[in-house]
Structure 1
Amino acid sequence: MGDATVTTREGPEEAVPHSVAERTGPGLLRRLRTPRRPRLWFEILLIAVSYWTYSLIRNAVPEQRAEALSNADWLWRLEHSLGIAVEESVNHAINGVTWLIVGMNYYYATLHFVVTLAVLVWLYRRHSGRYAATRLVLFATTGVALVGYYLYPLAPPRLMTNTGFIDTVLAHDTWGSMASGDLKNMSNQYAAMPSMHIGWSVWSGLTIFALARTPWVKVLGLLYPAATLVVIVATANHFWLDAVGGLICLAFGYGVARLWYGALPYRLPRVVPARTGAVAPGAGARPAPVPAEEENEPVPARTSPGP
């Protein structure tokens, strides 16, 4: 058969053959790096398995008590030399207000999970195009934190010896920490650096601030990590510098997402079209739209040349 031709208004035009690669779309790597509509069953399974794995690895890190206490003493001396060693004063001051410290104990034990999951659900429902990239930030942040727990065991202030820190959960007989009371054997007590209470709360706060439209909701997004910082110090679960470690891990998480997707999560399209399931920048150009006045314009009939 001869070469295929396409008739246009300007005349016959030779058809350009398309390669198999062009017909099959972008490659595997490009598809993986393209924002896609999340699938509910997959996300529930992924989050459940990821948290189980995180807890398993975190608790499998050897509880190096002597090294963890030594590191805590060194960190406490460092904060004194920097003039920021106010954790003990905050711990004692807030412990004197029973209703407040009991509330902080429950805050520490619950909101860490509740708010993070709520933000993930909100992203899934309202910002499907940004969901995967923002989730990657959270997962990368948590993953690198596991390395910190292994390389730098650290006792929280409440477990230090020869100091005046108060374990507020034990003092007020409240359920407020997996590392106190009857639950202490279920969690690694010497995994205080970095603080994922700060890593996750700042992730939640930044996401709310960047994507929420209501001003007071944006303000709440900023207040949440600030309140979390006060709570982790008042309950003697972390030093200030543990919070700095959490921020460093979070910065790593944003860096991973930026490299993988080519943009910060909040700059990606809000919604991925349901028809295609994914949008790959530059994956293929759509034909130019025909102007309305030309769309219904009849095409002149072709006439054969005269004798």
Structure 2
Amino acid sequence: MPRRPRLWFELILIAVSYGTYSMIRNAAPDRSAQAQEHARWIWDVQGALGLAFERSVNHAVEGVTWLIVSMNYYYATLHFVVTIAVLVWLFRSHPGRYGATRLVLFATTGVALLGYYFYPLAPPRLMEGMDFIDTATVHNTWGSLSAEGSTMASVSNQYAAMPSMHIGWSLWCGITICVLARPLWLKILGALYPAVTLLVIVATANHFWLDAVGGMICLGFGYLVARWWYGRACYRLPRQVPGPRPAARTAAAAAS
């Protein structure tokens, strides 16, 4: 049975969980040679499928300065801003579904760590001899992960590209908004958000499209975990947390 979420507990839980996630993700072994091999393998697989389009998109969008700079900032910021906004909305408007839906996100992120640790992957922007453009570095965008000597480069694992949590988190946001939001315009934005995110991660050369598939698989695992834990799909739980039973209310009134 869902319980009413407590703000102080949720803030601590999210802070500790994200700190742990970042620590483990960035502590994964820096195996650059293996990461390059994996990137080449993924590129060859996509080529065999006739879907190795990342470089073409990267070069095409790079030619439109205002667009690629906007995408760079989109990549660096909305990943966190939108996810936190959806969590706050769930906490305030759907407290009965908050815990289960939050568990989906946590389980998705947790299983992604296995990919980061056991499958180091160079993102397209770091592939050797492939002529991808690192758009954040070229345009000196805040949040560049590969600028030499930058703070971001020193604290971030450059080879944690598979799976893409930009896709995992954005798809979680999009599904949650599409299912639970009432205004049509908000549902449309929810549907567009992961689609635009996919374009951004490819155009900025931060991910292959197969990284996005990995993120989707992790999200599917997250929904299965929440379904198993709560016994129902997270969105089918009651919107509001049931109030205390009459006996409990009577006892509480007597105690006061």
- Unmatched segments (≥5 aa) in structure 1: 1-33, 277-307
CA deviation vs aligned residue, 1:121-146 (integer Å, no higher than 9, x gap): 00000000000000000000000000
Please list the CA deviations of residues 18-46 of structure 1 after superposition, one character each: whole Å capped at 9, or x if unmatched: xxxxxxxxxxxxxxxx2100000000000
What is the alpha-carbon distance in structure 2 between the residues aligned to residue 114 and residue 53 of structure 1? 19
2 CA distance for matches of 1:150 and 1:166? 26
Correspondent of 2:121 among 136, 150, 154:
154
Residue 195 of structure 1 pairs with residue 170 of structure 2: no
In 2: Cα distance, 1:100 partner to 1:106 partner: 10
Distance change >3 Å, CA 180–CA 127, structure 1 → 2? farther
The residue number in structure 2 matching 1:93 is: 60
Please list the CA deviations of residues 262-304 of structure 1 after superposition, one character each: whole Å capped at 9, or x if unmatched: 111100000003435xxxxxxxxxxxxxxxxxxxxxxxxxxxx
Q: Which has the higher helix share?
A: 2
Helix, strand or coil for the counterpart of 2:226?
helix
1:108 to 54, 75, 85: 75
1:84 maps to what in 2?
51
Q: What SS is found at the alignment partner of 2:76? A: helix
Amino acid at match of 1:142: T
Once residues 100 and 274 of structure 1 are traced to their aligned partners in structure 2, the CA distance between those partners, rounded to angstroms, is 49
Cα distance between partner residues in 2 of 1:168 and 1:69: 19
Could you state the TM-score of these two structures normalised by the residue count of structure 1?
0.78
Query: Is the contact made by 1:179 and 1:186 (CA closer than 8 Å) also made in structure 2?
Result: no
Count, aligned residues: 243
Aligned to 1:52: 19
Counterpart selection for 1:185 from 154, 179, 183: 154
Question: Which residue of structure 2 lines up, in the alignment, with residue 273 of structure 1?
Answer: 242
**CA RMSD after TM alignment:** 0.9
CA distance in 2: counterparts of 1:274 and 1:160, whole angstroms = 56
Q: Which amino acid aligns with 2:122?
A: A
TM-score by length of structure 2 reads 0.93
CA offsets 1:29-85 (integer angstroms, 9 cap, x no match): xxxxx2100000000000000000000000010110000001001110110000110
The answer to whether the Cα contact below 8 Å between 1:112 and 1:197 also exists between their aligned partners in 2 is yes
Counting only pairs closer than 5 Å after superposition, residues 1-307 of structure 1 correspond to structure 2 as 34-181=1-148, 182=150, 183-275=152-244
Q: Provide the secondary structure at the position in 1 that maps to 2:182.
A: coil
Cα drift, residue 185 of structure 1: 1.1
Aligned to 2:248: none
> 2-side partners of 1:167 and 1:53: how far apart?
28
Gap runs ≥5 in structure 2: 246-256
State the distance in 2 between where 1:44 and 1:122 align.
14
Q: Cα–Cα, structure 1 residues 210 and 252, in superposed 2: closer, same or farther, change >3 Å? A: same
2:203 maps to a residue whose letter is: A
C-alpha contact (below 8 Å) 1:72/1:157 kept by paired residues: yes
Deviating beyond 4 angstroms after TM superposition, the runs of 4 or more aligned structure 1 residues are none
Instruction: Give the match's secondary structure for 2:58.
Output: helix
Q: Name the SS of the counterpart of 2:197 in structure 1.
A: helix
